[in-house]
Structure 1
């Protein structure tokens, strides 16, 4: 079974479908934020004051997010664009899926609804099987060069 998951071209193409689906979701969310007026402040304030959020998360939202909603709105939009593009291109899959899962986690903690749980589960699967998921994509060409680069730097540091 492990060999099948690691070497099967069919599994690689299945991961391409998952990547394209997730990419579409991220890019369409980013597009909606860019095209329409994205003002999350009043909604966030309502969620925080509703008493439905866990205490630590409500404290985090009051202290760090609500005072800087403009910055967080821009960060979320840029993050969604970057994750969507990276998943579509198949580059830096583990990192982009991890960043997407972290954003989905924060959306789940705040709004407790939507497709965020489904997207987070699919992204965790991509993180676990990133080697196979990047087989058809730019990771196939980029990762070997990055490995060599980091190996050289590690060797130089160990001799110094």
Structure 2
């Protein structure tokens, strides 16, 4: 019943818009500063690997192995992905464009930060993002998804040529 309300109700669409704007603003500002000021994730990544040792490790061994074997040697790529990922997730959520995709990738980044031993606002962001994901289309209805999703649906059903205008 609650899920149906989240997915179909106009009031829910309004509340989801507020949540979407809050989460999007958080991502956008974090990403903007990283893109504008430059961002190097290597210190964070090495710190996360260090948190995997000791009596009460904050980072699981399997995640530390991934970070040590994949992320640390490619810190430049991961720095780029984090900075631009945060910025684009924020834009997608604020504009309500490809909302569920933006929310999904934002949640994946939140989980990566949580796995790396950083709590901060990540758990709160995951919780709020769950509502956006469960609501699906209704979360972006008050936004560009009102136009983008029907266009994509027409394209995938073969009823529209990709060069056709959305307006025609």
Query: TM-score w.r.t. structure 2 length?
Result: 0.84
CA distance in 2, matches of 1:123, 1:6: 14
2:151 equivalent among 145, 151, 154? 145
Runs (5+) with no aligned partner, structure 1: 154-160
Does the C-alpha gap of structure 1 residues 113 and 6 become closer, same or farther in structure 2, counting only changes over 3 Å? Answer: closer
**Cα RMSD (Å) of the superposition?**
1.7
**How far off its partner does 1:37 sit?**
4.6
Task: Specify the alignment match of 1:157 in structure 2.
Answer: none
More moved, 64-73 vs 5-14 = 5-14
The structure-2 alpha-carbon separation of the partners of 1:65 and 1:145, relative to structure 1 and needing over 3 Å to count, comes to same
Q: Where does the alignment leave 5 or more consecutive residues of structure 2 unmatched? A: 160-168
Structure having the higher helix fraction is 1
Q: How many residues align?
A: 153
Indicate the residue corresponding to 1:78 in structure 2: 84
Query: What CA distance in whole angstroms lies between the structure 1 residues aligned with 2:7 and 2:100?
Result: 16
1:24, distance to aligned residue in structure 2 (A): 0.8
TM-score, normalised via structure 1 length: 0.87
1:59 counterpart = 2:60:
no
Q: What residue is the counterpart of 1:107 in the other structure?
A: 113
CA contact (8 A) 2:49 2:67 kept: yes
Rate the CA distance shift 1:152–1:112 in 2: closer, same or farther, 3 A: same
Q: CA deviation at 1:5?
A: 3.7
Does the 8 Å CA contact 2:27/2:90 hold for their aligned counterparts?
yes
Distance 1:116 1:29, change over 3 A: same
Structure 1's 26 and 16: CA in aligned 2 closer, same or farther, altered over 3 A? same
| CA shift for structure 1 position 43 | 3.1
- 1:152 alignment partner, SS class: coil
